[in-house]
Structure 1
Amino acid sequence: MRLTLLLLCFLAFSFRPDKPAYRLYTPKLKATTYAKLLHQAAEADVILFGELHNNPICHWLEFQLTKDLQAAKKGNLVLGAEMFETDNQTALSDYVQGRTTSKELATQARLWPNYDTDYKPIADFAREQHIPFIATNIPRRYARLVSRQGLSALDTLPAEAKRQIAPLPISVDLTLPGYTAMMNMMGDNEGKSGANPHGTQTDMTANFARAQAIKDATMAYFIRQNWKPGQTLLHVNGDYHSKNFDGIVWYLRQQQLTSSARPLKILTISSVELADIEKPTTENRNLADFVIAIPADMTKTY
C-alpha cells in the first residue's frame, strides 16, 4: 500500500495534466495572457515580434496575431518583415496585391529557405485581406560589404543602392548591449580557434557588429517611412534585432529625436526557449514588453 502511494505521488509530480506549448510573461516575469497582448498590440503604433527563426510556435503566434490585429484594426494594419529585403519590395507588393503568383514571387524575390512553411501563411493572408506588406531589411550584399570593409564602403554605392538602405551617414554605437555581446562572443570564438589568442576585438569583429547595426537601422527607417498615424505596423524580425529594447528600437528612438512627429508607441515581443516554461529565470527579465517562453524541446521547422 505504501509503495503504491509513493508511486502515485511520483507520477503526480512527474506528469502535468497538460503540456502548454508556450507561456506569456510581462517584463518582470509575471504570467500574462494572449488577450492582454492583443489589447496592447492593437493600441501600439509599431510591434516588433522577435522570433526564433526555426521555432513553429513563434510562427504560429505571428500568424494568429496578424489575423486578430486585422480584425481589431479594421483595415489599419501594415505588415513588415526582416525576411524581405528592400530591393524585393516590388516583387512582394506585386504578390500581395494579386498581380503575380507564388511561383513568380519565388523567382523574383530572395525568399528564405523556410518561407513556404513559416512566412507564406502571413503573405497569403496579406494577399487575401489586401494588407500592405513592407520589405524592410537591407539587401544582404550591402550588409556583407559592411562586415568585410566597414561602414565607409557604403559611401561608394550608387544612388539607387543608397535608396535601399537607411540614409547615410549611419551612426553605430558599439557600446550598446546587443552589439557588445556580439563582439564579445566573436572574440571568444576567435580565441578558441587560435586566430586571435588574446580575444581582442578586431576590425573584423567590430565590422560584424556594424553589419548587424546597418540591418537594424535600415529596418527602423523603412518601418518609420511606411507607418501612418492611426495604423499599427506589425514587424517580424529575429529576436536579436529587438530584444532588450535594443537594435531596431534604438534606431526608431534615434529617428524620433530628430523628428517633430510624436514619438511612436512601440511594443516589443521576445521569444525564449526554456527547459521549464513555468519557471523563467532572472536572465529572462526585461527582454521585452511580452516574453514568450517556449519549451526547449519544441520541434523545429528546420
Structure 2
Amino acid sequence: MQKLIVFLLVILFSTVIYSQKKEAYRLYNAKGSKVSYNKMIDKMNKADIVLFGEHHNNPIVHWLQYETTKDLSKKRSLTMGAEMFEADNQSQLNAYLVGEIDQKAFDTVARLWNNYSTDYKPLVDFAKTKNIKFVATNVPRRFASLVFKGGFEVLEELSDEEKSWMAPLPISYDATLPGYVKMKEMMGGHGGDNLPKAQAIKDATMGYFILKNRENNKLFIHYNGSYHSDDYEGINWYLNRGDSNLKIVSVSVVEQENVKKFNKENKLKADFIIVVPTSMTKTY
C-alpha cells in the first residue's frame, strides 16, 4: 500500500511539473498531429524543394530555419534562396559570399532588411562558410509597387535588364485562388484587383528563380513569409505549373495561446506547422 501511495505521488508530482513546463514551440503535421523535428528532417531530406515559411519577426522560426539548414546540409548538397533578397541584388550577394566585399560594404550596396543582422545574416554566413549557392529570389520591390498601381501591363514598359529580374512575361495569374481572394477581402476591397496581383508577381518571381537555379542532385531550401506558401498556394502554385512532378515540402507558422493543443482551423496549412505561443517575443 505504501509503495502504491509513493507511486501515485510521483505521478502526480511529474504531472504538475510537466504542466508548468513552458514550451517555445510545438511541431505538427498537416493533419494536426504532433511530430518530431527528426521526422520533419527525414521528409525534407527526400524532397526537391523546401519552402520554409516564417513570420518575419519570430525568433524561434529563424532559429529553426538555421538548425534545419545545418542538419540538412549533413545529408544533402543544398542550394539556398530567400524572399529577403531581391533579384537585382544577386551580384552584390555573390560578391559577399565569395569574399570580394565585407559585411560593411554589403550593407551599403545591397537593400538588406532591417532585421538582417539578427535573422538572416546567420543563414547567409552559413552559406558563405560552406560554399553553398544562395539565390536572391524576390522581385525588386519597386516592381510590385508598379503592379499595385497599374497592373501587370506596366511591366511591359521595363527594360530588358529589368525584366531579367522577374518571372517572364506574361505573368500567369489565377485571381480565384483562395489566398488572393482572401487578401482582397481582408483589405475590404481597397487596392482593387491589383493588390493580389502585386503579391502574385512576388510569388511568380520566387517560383521562377527557384526553378531556374534548382539542380536535380541538390535540395533547394527557400525562406519566405509563410503567406507566400501557405495552403499550398502562392509559390507552390507557380512551382507546380513549372514542374508538376516536384516533391515540395512546405512549412508554416501559427501563433496560439496554447501550443499543446492544435487548433483545427490551422490544418492543411502546410506539411509541417510550427505552433508558437502568442506571447513569444518578437525580433522587431
TM-based fold match above 0.5: yes
SS in 1 for 2:274: strand
Quick one: which of 27, 30, 33 aligns to 2:30?
A: 27
The Cα shift of 1:16 comes to: 2.0
Quick one: which of 235, 238, 244 aligns to 2:225?
A: 238
Q: How does 1:205-244 map to 2 (within 5 A)?
A: 205-244=192-231
CA-based RMSD: 1.7
- TM norm structure 2: 0.93
SS in 2 for 1:171: coil
Equivalent in the alignment of 1:82: 83
Amino acid at match of 1:105: F
The Cα shift of 1:211 comes to: 0.4
Q: Report Cα offsets for 1:88-112 as digits up to 9, x if no partner.
A: 0001111112221111111111000
Q: Report Cα offsets for 1:111-164 as digits up to 9, x if no partner.
A: 000000000011111111101000000000101000011110001111110010
Equivalent in the alignment of 1:68: 71
Structure 1, gaps ≥5 residues long = 1-8, 188-200, 258-262
The Cα shift of 1:14 comes to: 9.7
Q: How does 1:184-223 map to 2 (within 5 A)?
A: 184-187=185-188, 201=189, 204-223=191-210
SS in 2 for 1:167: coil
Aligned: 1:173 with 2:155: no
Amino acid at match of 2:267: R
Q: How does 1:131-170 map to 2 (within 5 A)?
A: 131-170=132-171
The Cα shift of 1:208 comes to: 1.0
Bigger mean CA deviation after superposition, 97-106 or 174-183? 97-106
User: How far apart, in 2, do the equivalents of 1:89 and 1:235 lie?
Assistant: 15
Amino acid at match of 1:227: R
SS in 2 for 1:222: helix
Amino acid at match of 1:290: F
User: How far apart, in 1, do the equivalents of 2:232 and 2:166 lie?
Assistant: 22
The Cα shift of 1:245 comes to: 0.3
SS in 2 for 1:205: coil
Residues paired across the two proteins, number: 273
Structure 1 residue runs of 4 or more that deviate by more than 3 Å after TM superposition: 12-15
Equivalent in the alignment of 2:261: 279
- TM norm structure 1: 0.87
Amino acid at match of 1:249: N
The Cα shift of 1:282 comes to: 1.3
Amino acid at match of 1:186: M
